[in-house]
Structure 1
């Protein structure tokens, strides 16, 4: 729990930077919130209300200052079937339930499991997201779509030029904000026919109001919404915690993962009661926020409040913002998000790390699901790690001078990955009176290794040898005492079964 002074500093320690960055983020949130609403099959106001609510609430209760949360594609795609089959009210109910599940995850301190996500998976996640952000802009550049002409490409190029060149003049004002102002003024003054924010859908003209989802409160409803809510909760937390790690690295600060889980849950639960869809942290907007000076809670709060003011109070003005300006900003975000150094290190990093990174990228881009990509990456990391540890395992043996005793010295980690090598290292045909298995340089980890030890001891005893296991550390001894059968009645019966 942070102190009041620390919490206050997170709000007011960087007022100017947070306000400006929050303004830029608010403008970038508008087209994405509308697009994510369309993905889920609901009215644009559902995504816009969600982005406002989540951004404002997470500013108060989140665990990572400076990180932006709102409606996202990752959660929107999970709701498509639910909306199609049961309607908006069930989406709102699933959003509330997803939030409650996330609060539970935070209270159970499940955020600690993020430590098992390797750096290679993190890099793959970032690169895949950068590719997806760029791919999401392609429809706005496709000549086959209505309103897209050569002028669109010229304006996007001009926007990128302003974004990258304006900082050479001054960094007092974020260049993406200048891009939006300049291109909007240019398009409006010249009367050019290009796609605008207003073409993506009608903007809401009223404030959100409290409402309770109009659904039957029974077990059947719970069975309908629970699978969707659980998926949204898991994907939302996964993307949020991954983004949190990235923001931690960018700002060289630490944050509270479990508090972020609780904060995401509170934000989603409340959002479902004002007609908004579920959301989570957004890496693209978070990077925009950090790169343009946003560090505190005020930036997320500003983004949410300005978003609501823009779409409700100044909807007519926002509607004329040309899409090429926002496309240019998102292309800049995708370029800045991608870890270009990871391409240079493909040859120098261990091959397993490179495979994990590339597999994560390929899976995310193919499935358009960040959770599946991360899961594949984590599984591959585990497999490669187990294989690497298994290679460090070895057994050597020493025969006594009188030829009556053989000592096997086990070195390394004895687990499921090395259990087969352990079993094959013994010569059960050798006629010796005594066998000593020295595990003082080893550690026994799991039931597979305990069973391998059982089989070795029992096979030697069946040949008439006296067997001793020595040097076991306390943790290994506790596991062996609990699971091993070689010193228990009926042990030889178990051997015949195997």
Structure 2
């Protein structure tokens, strides 16, 4: 038992903790942005990201993979929120989890072995383009300080690993975010920060059962959205798991991951969060920063909540230029 815990949780403590810190910082603006896309309060996405990351760390089938609120899922739920409101979204999130658990027991995750390498490559390249395009609004109609900070951030990310000893001990993205935030605060630069994206929550999430009628009419409203969310979430999660398998040269349990995504989404819905799934960008950041085990995902989710609730005054001052870099 102890050996199993060590092999899955504590074999890479330093790397997982530092990578988790990097991911937590990067998750904050993304969770807020995805909440805005879905048409809900920023805390809905932040609570979801915390809850899903923490739960999936225990029940997921791919150690080192980061799951949270995502843009793909947010786009699916826009119409539901607009027409029926947040409570129906929470109900759809619960049903999404149930459907994903069912997919796990039906062993649908095993079908991923039939997906060709070219499809996975296309998926990764398309996401890379989308991630790049998503950063462009932060680089248009801005002052020269933003470009300078972005360039300096890129320099730190690519050059810091060559610093003797320290370069291999501390992830360069973490150094970039901390140093650029310190510079912006010291010089009082008038640039866009995390706080400008939306109000951060000031309380811990609480248990919340969706306030909707429990009848067939409600089921008829939420089922099409829940089914779409379940399919999109599992497809992105399975693709991401395959990519992380390749990056780390290890294997994962895709069927367990399906069930884990379902459990995580049910937990998210019960704590007032939106549905989510695995994140290719954050998962790659985690692996590149040294994260390999379940501990990295647990640290990312836990630190995310602690930062937005108890350190919001500091977190809100992180410049978006550093996160763009």
Q: TM-score, normalised by structure 2?
A: 0.98
CA distance in 2, matches of 1:36, 1:222: 25
2:305 counterpart residue number: 308
Aligned runs of 1:125-274 on 2, under 5 Å? 125-143=123-141, 148-169=142-163, 170-274=167-271
- Count residues with an aligned counterpart: 322
Cα offset, 1:171, TM superposition: 1.9
Question: Where has structure 1 moved over 6 Å in runs of 4 or more?
Answer: none
1:436 counterpart residue number: none
2:59 counterpart residue number: 61
Aligned runs of 1:343-382 on 2, under 5 Å? none
Cα offset, 1:8, TM superposition: 4.0
Gaps of 5+ in 1: 329-498
CA distance in 1, matches of 2:6, 2:13: 12
CA RMSD of aligned residues (A): 0.9
* Alignment match of 1:85 (pick from 79, 83, 94): 83
1:294 has 2:296 as partner: no
CA distance in 2, matches of 1:153, 1:216: 51
Cα offset, 1:5, TM superposition: 3.7
Q: TM-score, normalised by structure 1?
A: 0.64
Question: More relative contact order in 1 or in 2 (CA 8 Å, sep 6+)?
Answer: 2
CA distance in 2, matches of 1:162, 1:266: 38
- How big is each residue's C-alpha offset from its partner over 1:323-347, in whole Å with a ceiling of 9 and x where there is no partner? 000000xxxxxxxxxxxxxxxxxxx
1:281 counterpart residue number: 278
SS in 2 for 1:12: coil
1:19 has 2:33 as partner: no
Cα offset, 1:7, TM superposition: 4.7
Decide whether aligned partners of structure 1 residues 4 and 77 sit closer, same or farther in structure 2, where only a CA change above 3 A counts. farther
CA distance in 2, matches of 1:178, 1:13: 24
Q: Which structure shows the higher strand fraction?
A: 1
- How big is each residue's C-alpha offset from its partner over 1:80-106, in whole Å with a ceiling of 9 and x where there is no partner? 000000000001000000000000000
Cα offset, 1:67, TM superposition: 0.3
CA distance in 1, matches of 2:137, 2:5: 42
CA distance in 1, matches of 2:206, 2:85: 19
CA distance in 2, matches of 1:288, 1:180: 13
SS in 1 for 2:21: helix
Cα offset, 1:142, TM superposition: 1.1
CA distance in 1, matches of 2:262, 2:59: 10
Gaps of 5+ in 2: none
- How big is each residue's C-alpha offset from its partner over 1:162-191, in whole Å with a ceiling of 9 and x where there is no partner? 111111112211111111111111111111
1:31 counterpart residue number: 29
1:51 has 2:49 as partner: yes
CA distance in 2, matches of 1:266, 1:59: 11
Q: Which structure shows the higher helix fraction?
A: 2
